[in-house]
Amino acid sequence: MSNEKNSRIFIAGHNGLVGSSIKRHLESMGCANIVTRTRAELDLTNQAAVADFFTKERFDQVYLAAAKVGGIHANNHYPADFIYQNLMIQNNVIYQSFLSGVKKILFLGSSCIYPKINSPFILESALLTGKLEPTNEPYAIAKIAGIKLCESLNRQFGSSHGIDYRSIMPSNIYGPGDNFHPENGHVIPSLISKMHHAKIANQSIISVWGSGLQKREFLYVDDMAEACVMVMNVPQPILSKSIRPMESHINAGYGEDISIAELAYLVAEIVGFSGDIIFDRTRPDGPSRKQLDVSKIKIFGFEPKVNLREGLIRTYDSFLIKLNKD
């Protein structure tokens, strides 16, 4: 890690859920040359502004954690925003990194890149083998484009320019710093917010989208940050044994999944909501299952440390702290 400690590192999206955790993790390792910019300071969708920034700053490494993200409701209602903004952010950051001489990038994708119908454990090789889940197809297409841009730059300029651009595909990430909007957030923060406010209001019933039968895999954000730094710094000879030029992304997940119904009851227990939970089958379920095969990242030594119950407790505590501040 000595090279990492001396590197000049840009974290795009440092105020976001994963970006903020990556920053904390790098700082805990002694990395003191970390550069960040808020959205107000640098609009990553603005090509000219991004080009000027990278030309002036000259980074060694870039973690691309900036993205427009949201749950199934947000993806359904704002598909144009999701595909346009994410494509612009990715294209600008990745290509301007290349033009300015950045040697290493870690691009953060999403498990939604994989086809809607798949085997119980999703291998990296499943990419582009079938149709995407319609509810988040625009977001998924943007993320696939980011993977392929990194791959294509490696294939065309890897040897001549010494670049090494990598991609990591996480399962559902959750934890402190998440978006707790009851509709536009992802499932865990949305459930926490909804159940907490229902408890305070003495509501006897809450509704959850879908049948509750669909299963999802959840990875605590600090575990994800550790995975990101690990994948960024795996020596190339070791990494090359697990990837191919046109299949270079690495899955990162907890290794277990849970049904949304089981998750809802677990969140209710932790939050202290004692009312009834009904599942609205008129709302979309999304894919029936999305558990990633994580055998590749395990080769590098990655093992999640925070189980779901403990992660939910920490996430709810952070939600309460945020409420008190607001």
Structure tokens at 128: 């582009």
Amino acid at 111: S
Tens digit of each residue's pLDDT (9 = 90 or more) over 117-163: 657 789 999 999 999 988 889 999 999 999 999 999 999 999 999 99
Q: Cα–Cα distance between 228 and 325 in angstroms, integer? A: 30
pLDDT tens, position by position, 80-118: 999 999 999 999 999 999 999 999 999 999 999 999 865
Catalytic positions:
139
Nearest CA to 192 among 165, 226, 159, 218? 218
Distance between CA atoms of residues 181 and 194, nearest Å? 9
- Contacts of residue 50, defined as CB under 8 A and 6 or more positions apart, other chains included, come to 42, 44, 92, 93, 96
Contacts of 71 (CB under 8 A, 6+ apart): 183, 184, 185, 186, 187, 190
Domains of the chain, each with CATH number or no CATH: 2-325 (3.40.50.720)
Beta strands in the chain (DSSP E): 9-12, 34-35, 61-64, 104-108, 121-122, 164-170, 172-174, 205-209, 215-216, 218-220, 249-252, 258-259, 276-280, 289-292
The residue assigned the tokens 């509704």 is 207
Q: How far apart are CA 158 and CA 269, in angstroms?
A: 51
Given the structure tokens 């979309």, which residue do they identify?
284
Compute how many other C-beta atoms are within 10 angstroms of the C-beta atom of residue 54.
22
Side chain identity at 245, as an amino acid letter?
A: P
Q: Which pLDDT does position 184 carry in this prediction?
A: 67
| Tens-level pLDDT at each residue, the chain (326 residues) | 446 678 999 999 999 999 999 999 999 999 999 999 999 999 999 999 999 999 999 999 999 999 998 877 778 889 999 999 999 999 999 999 999 999 999 999 999 999 986 577 899 999 999 999 888 899 999 999 999 999 999 999 999 999 999 999 999 999 998 888 776 678 999 999 999 999 999 999 999 988 999 999 999 999 999 999 999 999 999 999 999 999 999 999 999 999 999 999 999 999 999 999 999 998 877 777 889 999 999 999 999 999 999 999 999 999 999 888 87
Predicted model pTM = 0.93
